[in-house]
Amino acid sequence: MESHEEIAGILLRYHRLLIVTHVMPDGDAIGSMLGLGLGLQRKGRQVTMTCPGGIPENLQFMPGSDQIVPVDEIRSHEYDIVVALDSSDPGRIEGVYEQIPPGVPIVNIDHHATNKGYGTYNYIDSASAATGEQVYRVLIAMNVRVDLNIAVCLFTAIATDTGFFRFSNTTPTTLRIAARLVERGADPSGISEQVYEARSLESLKMLGRVLDTLQVDKSGKIAWMEVYRDWLSEFSLDEGQTEGFVNYARMVKGVEVALIFRESADGKIRIGMRSKGDFDVGAFAETLGGGGHARAAGCSLDGQSISEAKELVFGKVYEIMGLAGD
C-alpha cells in the first residue's frame, strides 16, 4: 500500500498518463478523474482520460468532460503509466485493463474496502467518503493549485458519493475538504441543480413505473424494485438513467436492505443494493462477484431472470439476517 504522498511522487515521474474510471460512471468516478487529469495537465503532463461506456448527461457540465475519449480509441501501449480510479476490481475497467502491457505500471486509487489491490501501486482508503477526497490529497502533495475547474470536479465527486453530505461516510475531513473546494469557487447549490435537477421528463415517468414495483417483504426489513428492459425502450432511456432509483426503496420506514433488480443490455441482471442498518451490502455483493461499500453496493448475475435472481439473493439475505424465508 502506498500513501498519497508516495502516489504523488510516482505520478510525477511519468509524462504520458492514461486515467481510467469505472463503467456506468457516477459523479465520483468522473469528478475524481477530471480533477486528477486537470491537475496533472497543470503540471505539464500529457493526460488522456477514458471510461467504458458513455458519460451520463447530468455529469457533462464538469470542466474537462469534453476531453474524455471512448475506450475503443485507447491504445494502452502509448502511455507510461495507467491510473485507475474508484474501481474496486479490473472488471470495472474492462476494455482498458486487458490491453495494458506488462511493463506499464498501474496506479490504483480507490476508497472501496472490497478493492482487490490489483495495481502496481495501491492507494486504498476506505475511510475516504469518495475517491475525490483521495485525489484532493494527491494534488496537494503534488503542489497543484486547486483552481475553480478542479474544485468543481472534486466537489461534485465528494458531494455525490455522500448524498450531499448526508450519508454515514461523511466525516469531518470530508467537510473540511469540501469547504476548501467551496473557497476555491465550487458552488454547492449550482452543482446540486446540475446533477439532480436536470432529469428528462421520461426518466421521471420511468421512476413512477419503477416505484410501482416497490415491495417490502413480510419482515419489513427488505424492500425491492424491478426494472425491465422493454420499459427502457418504451421511455427511450438507457440503464444509466435509472441511477439512484434504489435509494427510494431505502426510504421505507424499518427497511434495512434495499435492492433494485435491473435487466441489463448485456443479458445480465444488475443488482443495486443499499443498506440502512448493520447489513454490509459491500461484503454481500462481493460474494456474488460484485463489490461496493457497506451501505451502497452492486453486482451482476449471469444467465438468470429477475425472478431467479430474486430467489437467489433473498435466500442469501435471509440467511445472513437470520430471518425465515417465505
Interface with ligand 5GP (CB under 6 A): 26, 88-89, 92, 246, 272, 290-293, 296-300
Of 4 and 112, the one with the shorter C-beta distance to ligand 5GP is 112
Q: Using CB positions, name the residue nearest to ligand 5GP.
A: 298
Stretch touching Mn ion by CB under 5 A, among 139-147, 161-169, 233-241, 251-259: 161-169
Q: Examine residue 28 and tell whether it contacts Mn ion (CB under 5 A).
A: yes
240's contact among Mn ion, ligand 5GP, none, with CB below 5 to 8 A by partner kind, is none
**Alpha-carbon distance values, 103 to 6, 46, 84, 151, 182 (Å):** 20, 19, 16, 33, 40
For residue 89, the minimal CB distance to ligand 5GP (Å) is: 5
Of 85 and 154, the one with the shorter C-beta distance to ligand 5GP is 85
Of 81 and 130, the one with the shorter C-beta distance to ligand 5GP is 130
**Alpha-carbon distance values, 310 to 23, 252, 315 (Å):** 24, 19, 8
Of 2 and 125, the one with the shorter C-beta distance to Mn ion is 125
Lookup: cell for 286: 462481493
For residue 157, the minimal CB distance to ligand 5GP (Å) is: 12
Q: Examine residue 110 and tell whether it contacts Mn ion (CB under 5 A).
A: no
Alpha-helical segments (H) within 162-251: 172-183, 188-196, 201-211, 229-234, 246-250
- CA separation for the pair 28, 129 (Å, rounded): 10
| Beta strand residue intervals within the chain, DSSP E | 16-21, 46-50, 68-69, 81-85, 106-110, 121-124, 215-216, 222-227, 257-263, 269-275, 291-292, 296-301
For residue 199, the minimal CB distance to ligand 5GP (Å) is: 16
296's contact among Mn ion, ligand 5GP, none, with CB below 5 to 8 A by partner kind, is ligand 5GP
Q: Using CB positions, name the residue nearest to Mn ion.
A: 28
Q: Which of 55, 74, 81, 86 binds Mn ion (CB under 5 A)?
A: 86
SS3 275: strand
**Alpha-carbon distance values, 143 to 42, 137, 309 (Å):** 10, 10, 49
**135: which residues sit within 8 A by CB, 6+ positions away?**
32, 35, 36, 39, 85, 109, 154, 157
For residue 86, the minimal CB distance to ligand 5GP (Å) is: 7
Chain residues in the site for Mn ion (CB under 5 A): 28, 86, 131, 161
